[in-house]
């Protein structure tokens, strides 16, 4: 016994008011409308909240070593503590990457030190401590002269820098990654006795932040 299969052709469907060719266009239009509405809502929330950039403060810094092992090779050891603050009332911050190093007169005098990533809630503050070291770092020929001149003047200007990436969190929505840079400048007492004793700075000075 034979079986007969009946199928409706596109022409037959068209007679009954069903246009097969228009279905993909309707689905694409609906999906595009949904995406546009979603991104418009996200942008609107972003504009309304307008998160402020995080704030950083240098709590303390100690230089334990800063000397030349050869004419142009530097050994350094610096311990520092920063305060990180999120000033936003409705926006959290994910710190995905934090790299800290020290600079003197435009020259990097320590290697990068990485801190573990963390989340910072609304209006929260965190203490960030890091040990910065450098062994046999190449420096400019004038480095020893510059340090000697600052030692005679009795003060040394040091820059402590942070490079990183962050994400904003609003409710369950999380933004993409943004690069940020922090620069903390501190003036430290640096006299003849500084060769044998640690040089300390506890000014609680604010740092400049760019996002």
The 10 Å Cβ neighbour count of residue 132 is 20
- 38, burial (CB in 10 Å: exposed 0-12, middle 13-18, buried 19+): exposed
Separation between Cα atoms, residue 205 and residue 90, nearest integer Å? 26
Chunked in runs of 10, what are the mean pLDDT values of the chain (211 residues)? 50 52 67 74 63 93 91 93 95 96 96 97 96 95 92 92 95 91 92 61 78 89
- Nearest partner of 121 among 59, 168, 165, 178, judged by Cα: 168
CA distances from 16 to 9, 25, 31, 59, 112 (A): 11, 19, 26, 77, 71
pLDDT of residue 198: 62
Separation between Cα atoms, residue 19 and residue 7, nearest integer Å? 16
pTM, two decimals, is 0.75
């Amino acid at each position: 016994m034979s079986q007969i299969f009946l199928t409706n052709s596109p022409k037959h469907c068209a007679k009954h008011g069903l246009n097969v060719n228009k279905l993909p266009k309707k689905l694409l239009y609906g999906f595009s409308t949904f995406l546009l509405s979603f991104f418009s809502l996200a942008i609107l929330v972003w504009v309304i909240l307008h998160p402020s950039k995080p704030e950083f403060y240098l709590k303390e810094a100690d230089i334990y070593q800063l000397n030349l092992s050869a004419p142009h090779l530097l050994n350094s050891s610096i311990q520092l503590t920063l305060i990180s603050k999120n000033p936003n009332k409705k926006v959290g911050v994910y710190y995905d990457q934090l790299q800290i190093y020290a600079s003197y007169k435009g020259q990097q005098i320590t290697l990068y030190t990485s801190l573990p990533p963390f989340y910072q809630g609304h209006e929260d503050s965190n203490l960030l401590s890091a040990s910065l070291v450098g062994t046999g770092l190449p420096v400019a020929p004038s480095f020893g002269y510059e340090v000697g001149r600052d030692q005679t003047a009795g003060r040394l200007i040091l820059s402590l820098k942070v490079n990183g990436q962050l994400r904003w969190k609003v409710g369950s929505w999380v933004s993409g990654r943004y690069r940020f840079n922090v620069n903390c400048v501190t003036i430290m007492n640096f006299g003849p006795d500084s060769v044998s004793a640690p040089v300390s700075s506890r000014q609680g000075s604010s740092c400049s932040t760019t996002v």
